Amino acid sequence: MAWFCSGTNNTELIENLWSAGLIKNKRVKKAMLGVDRDHYAPSSPYSDSPQPIGYGATISAPHMHGHACEYLIDFLHPGSRVLDIGSGSGYLTHVIANLITDPSSPPTDADGHVIGIEHIQELVDLARENMGKSEDGRNFLKSGKVQFVCGDGRRGWPEGGPYDAIHVGAAAVELHAPLIEQLKAPGRMFIPVESEEGEDGLSHVGLGGGQYIWVVDKKADGTVVKEKVFGVSYVPLTDAPK
């Protein structure tokens, strides 16, 4: 499937993902058409596969960025506050910024924001540099609509919350409590988690039970509902390298 969905330019890639049904939401499609992956992926930007960005990190495959936005879409509107954990290249942070901006008016501080948190300073700098390659990106940085910060994403970033949506771009060992605390009610988190249980329901700690995306909803009354949605393969959410 991956070869089929690749393209020779950004528009072709996104149109192919759309035709293949890997992106289904029109707002997500438009937001992804608005960010050239060439600004964020140093090699094969229009291939539907993860690409290395240095420091042991990768920019995720475009169809995964699409899925993440589609699971969060009902929580991404002008005014929403969003946290993108493990922001890496900054690509998804930019797509999310498009989703929380009203294209008919210039961005203002009042309309919410997206914070990309990353624990490798060089990648924080890289994300800012990547975003600086387009006029839209430069405006997002200048207005504060997008901020990239260096820190341990497992603790969230309380200063920017509470969040309508939290995206986690690396596999966690658990549903970290501070992240659930920093969700708004209502709010939603999309998080890959290293499973401790195999499909048979038995514990497989250390045996690679596999990773799954969990969608965690904090309802308006504060109750938390968790759903395991599909199997994935992400780099781990870890301690910062020494």
Q: Which residues are catalytic?
A: 60
Q: Which neighbouring-strand residues pair with 57?
A: 54
Asked if 211 interacts with ligand SAH (CB under 6 A), we say: no
Site residue total, ligand SAH (CB under 6 A): 24
- Segment 147-206, which members bind ligand SAH (CB under 6 A)? 152-154, 169-170
- Tell me the one-letter amino acid at 241: P
* Other CB atoms within 10 A of residue 19 CB: 11
Q: Which helix (H) or strand (E) holds 68?
A: helix 62-72
- Segment 78-117, which members bind ligand SAH (CB under 6 A)? 85-89, 91-92, 117
- Tell me the one-letter amino acid at 188: R
CB 137 within 8 A of CB 39: yes
- Our CB check for ligand SAH shows the closer of 18 and 157 to be 157
The minimum distance between CB 116 and ligand SAH, in angstroms, equals 8
Q: Residue 152 half-sphere exposure, CB side, CA atoms within 13 Å?
A: 9
- Our CB check for ligand SAH shows the closer of 133 and 219 to be 133
27-35, 119-127, 132-140, 221-229 -> range binding ligand SAH (CB under 6 A): 119-127
| Tokens 């709010």 found at | 187
The minimum distance between CB 123 and ligand SAH, in angstroms, equals 5
Q: Find the distance separating the first CA and the last CA of the chain, reported in whole Å.
A: 38
Contact set with ligand SAH (CB under 6 A): 57-60, 85-89, 91-92, 117-120, 123, 152-154, 169-170, 235, 237-238
